Amino acid sequence: MNSDVFFGPKFSWAGPVTSHRIDKNKAAQIQSQLGCVLSNKGYDTGVHKFTIRVHSRTSTCMLGVAPSNVSRTSSNYSSNGFFMNLADGSLYSGPPNYYSNRACLGKGVTGGQIIILILDCNKHTLTYNFDGRDFLAYENLPNVKLFLAFDNDTTAGSELEII
């Protein structure tokens, strides 16, 4: 096995934040609050696999990776970080990609489903695995420490768990 590949929940959501309620490895959006919650660990080398159970997904629910300087009090998905909207499987990001509603999965992720993110810091890519298929979402990611990120709009109800 490649020693650069890490599996399992040796990371969790980091708090405190005002945009999400955190309970162990679960994070849930809070109504009328903007902001991003990050994992407690960031990575700039190696290959990292994040397995996420979607307990519920209401409207916009942005999941991806972001640097530590994301805003905890405003949305980031179109300005800082690399995200997928689980509502419809589309991509949103800041520089260098500047994606806005770019098709990726072709469908949304609903409650009860599992999605896997594979962050390859050596190749600077982010891949989503859904329904047993890999979707290369981002190439040429910046060479900075990136964290698993759950960005919030003002609609509550989405809950994600790191498993």
pTM: 0.82
Residue 63 included in any domain: yes
Q: Looking at the 3D structure of the chain, how many domains does it have?
A: 1
pLDDT greater at residue 31 or residue 70: 70
Structural domain for 156, as ranges: 17-134+144-162
Residue 60 included in any domain: yes
- Give the H or E element holding residue 92: strand 90-93
Whether the pLDDT of residue 31 is over 60: the answer is: no
9 three-class SS: coil
Q: What is the average pLDDT value for the chain, to the nearest integer?
A: 80
Question: 140-151 pLDDT, tens per residue?
Answer: 999 999 999 888
Residue 124 included in any domain: yes
- Amino acid letter, residue 5: V
Whole-number pLDDT of residue 15: 58
Query: Which tokens belong to 54?
Result: 């979607």
Whether the pLDDT of residue 44 is over 90: the answer is: yes
Question: 108-117 pLDDT, tens per residue?
Answer: 888 899 999 9
Task: Give the pLDDT mean for 23-49.
Answer: 77
Whole-number pLDDT of residue 8: 40
CA atoms within 13 A on the CB side of 21: 9
Residue 111 included in any domain: yes
Distance of CA 156 to the CA centre of its chain: 17
**Domain of residue 91, CATH code:** 2.60.120.920
Residues 6 or more apart in contact with residue 104 via CB below 8 angstroms: 84, 89, 90, 91, 128, 135, 137
Residue 1 included in any domain: no
